[in-house]
């Protein structure tokens, strides 16, 4: 079954006929019909593929530092089996079990956001994480990244739902965050190995973000933000949708305000969400870990930022005190350890 689902998934963009066959295969009350639809789908996939190219693709999966799970397996996230148009295959790196063991709250918003929006996303995610709730987002710039960092700072878990293949990092500047999530949380995607960040991928990705969560929080979504697509999916899936209000004079959060006007819950205090989901799901709050010792690289960077705060990342990279990757990794760890914070324009400031 795993091989069949991999072949179907490899077809890429779905059309109406493929979606109908997949729906019949998954939902038909008769086994005969389910088997017939599966054979049709596999036949379509094999006609569509180059056998030699698929063989190379399959080797990459076998040799990759990641795993995959298909919808027929018990390990497949139960929440996603219930949504319309579920993924047949999920590629992942990290701890898949966290999706079934703890309540999950998604935090989404715009890439272009204010410092206020970043801070709210960070603080809310950190509080949820400390309360034993897994934070889900899409690893984009802005609100998504702030939510992931906040969750890691809270010493809890976070899930990044990707709009690319599992072997890609998008955006590339989030490589340090990507690596931290793979070690301490979960990276997950339905897109096959080698798939680039195509515009079509992200709206499809959003249905998985909403499908995995128990509730969705929207922060600073513009009127055309993809976060509103995620909110639509969440409502269709019967999930609770919360929206953090924004000022009416700016452009950052008009989509969030519109959601509230349309009936989304106005969220002013993250304690409201924690009371509902942590208690209802018996989540165990995580004890605050002892202060983590800092590496020499982290100490050097912290001294520089403390002396010149705020400091643009280009200036830190040009100091020649260490390699570029080492600097980026150390900056990410300082963010996670709550020693510094990031202002718009890639400027790092000391946390007082």
The 10 Å CB-count burial string (b at 16+, else e) for 261-284 is eeebeebeebeebbeebbeeeebe
Claim to verify: residue 161 and residue 200 sit in the same structural domain? yes
Question: Predicted confidence band at 289 (pLDDT cuts at 50, 70, 90)?
Answer: very low
pLDDT given at position 288? 41
- Output the domain CATH number for residue 327: 1.10.10
- As a whole number, mean pLDDT of residues 234-251 equals 91
Cα 45 to Cα 9: distance, rounded to the nearest angstrom: 8
The Cα angle at residue 271 between residues 233 and 225, in degrees rounded to 5: 30
Given a cut of 70, whether residue 339 has pLDDT beyond it is: yes
Q: Say which residue, 287 or 91, is predicted with more confidence.
A: 91
Claim to verify: residue 105 and residue 212 sit in the same structural domain? yes
Would you tell me the crossing angle of helices 175-184 and 143-153 to the nearest 10 degrees?
Answer: 40
Domain that holds residue 304: 296-350
Question: Predicted confidence band at 321 (pLDDT cuts at 50, 70, 90)?
Answer: low
Claim to verify: residue 171 and residue 309 sit in the same structural domain? no
Q: Say which residue, 323 or 259, is predicted with more confidence.
A: 259
Claim to verify: residue 123 and residue 224 sit in the same structural domain? yes
pLDDT, the chain, mean: 89
Please say whether the beta carbons of 70 and 43 come within 8 A: no
Question: Predicted confidence band at 76 (pLDDT cuts at 50, 70, 90)?
Answer: very high
Question: Predicted confidence band at 340 (pLDDT cuts at 50, 70, 90)?
Answer: confident
Claim to verify: residue 24 and residue 119 sit in the same structural domain? no
Phi, then psi, of 271 in degrees rounded to 5: -60, -30
pLDDT given at position 287? 42
Q: Say which residue, 297 or 152, is predicted with more confidence.
A: 152
Cα 22 to Cα 82: distance, rounded to the nearest angstrom: 14
Claim to verify: residue 301 and residue 235 sit in the same structural domain? no
Claim to verify: residue 235 and residue 274 sit in the same structural domain? yes
Claim to verify: residue 260 and residue 345 sit in the same structural domain? no
186: nearest Cα among 225, 238, 151, 236: 151
Is position 291 within any domain? no
pLDDT given at position 270? 94
270: nearest Cα among 162, 128, 87, 134: 128
Q: Say which residue, 16 or 160, is predicted with more confidence.
A: 160
Claim to verify: residue 250 and residue 206 sit in the same structural domain? yes
- As a whole number, mean pLDDT of residues 328-350 equals 81
- As a whole number, mean pLDDT of residues 20-38 equals 93
- Output the domain CATH number for residue 139: 3.40.50.450
pLDDT given at position 259? 96
Claim to verify: residue 223 and residue 105 sit in the same structural domain? yes
Count of all residues that appear for the chain in the document: 352
For the segment 117-138, what is each residue's pLDDT rounded down to a tens digit?
999 999 999 999 999 899 999 9
Domain final residue pick, 47, 63, 79: 63
Is position 78 within any domain? no
Structural domain count, the chain: 3
Would you tell me the crossing angle of helices 324-336 and 143-153 to the nearest 10 degrees?
Answer: 70
Among 147-151, 279-283, 321-325, 331-335, the range of highest mean pLDDT: 147-151
Is position 84 within any domain? no
Question: Predicted confidence band at 196 (pLDDT cuts at 50, 70, 90)?
Answer: very high
């Amino acid at each position: 079954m795993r091989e069949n689902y991999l072949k179907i998934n490899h077809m890429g963009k779905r059309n109406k006929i493929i979606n109908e066959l997949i729906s019949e295969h998954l939902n038909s009350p008769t086994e005969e019909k389910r088997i017939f639809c599966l054979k049709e789908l596999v036949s379509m996939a094999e006609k569509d593929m180059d056998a030699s190219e698929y063989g190379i693709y399959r080797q990459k999966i076998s040799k990759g530092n990641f795993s995959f799970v298909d919808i027929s397996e018990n390990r497949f996230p139960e929440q996603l089996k219930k949504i319309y148009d579920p993924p047949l295959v999920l590629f992942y790196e990290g701890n898949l079990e966290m999706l079934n063991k703890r309540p999950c709250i998604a935090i989404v918003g715009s890439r272009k956001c204010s410092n206020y929006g970043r801070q709210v996303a960070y603080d809310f995610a950190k509080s949820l994480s400390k309360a034993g709730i897994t934070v889900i987002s899409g690893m984009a710039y802005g609100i998504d990244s702030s939510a992931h960092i906040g969750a890691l700072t809270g010493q809890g878990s976070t899930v990044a739902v990707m709009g690319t293949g599992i072997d890609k990092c998008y955006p590339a500047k989030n490589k340090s965050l990507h690596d931290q999530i793979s070690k301490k949380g979960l990276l997950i995607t339905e897109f096959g190995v080698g798939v680039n960040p195509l515009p079509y991928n992200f709206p499809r990705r959003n249905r998985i973000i909403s499908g995995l969560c128990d509730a969705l929080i929207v922060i600073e979504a513009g009127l055309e933000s993809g976060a509103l697509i995620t909110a639509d999916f969440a409502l269709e899936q019967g999930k609770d949708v919360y929206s953090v209000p924004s000022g009416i004079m700016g452009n950052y959060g008009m989509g969030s305000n519109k959601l509230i006007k349309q009936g989304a819950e106005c969220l002013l205090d993250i304690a409201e969400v924690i009371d509902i989901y942590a208690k209802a799901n018996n989540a165990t709050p995580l004890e605050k870990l002892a202060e983590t010792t800092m590496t020499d690289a982290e100490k050097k960077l912290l001294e520089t930022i403390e002396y010149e705060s705020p400091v643009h990342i280009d200036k830190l990279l040009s100091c020649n005190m260490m390699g570029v990757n080492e600097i980026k990794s150390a900056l990410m760890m300082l963010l996670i350890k709550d020693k510094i914070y990031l202002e718009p324009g890639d400027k790092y400031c000391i946390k007082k």
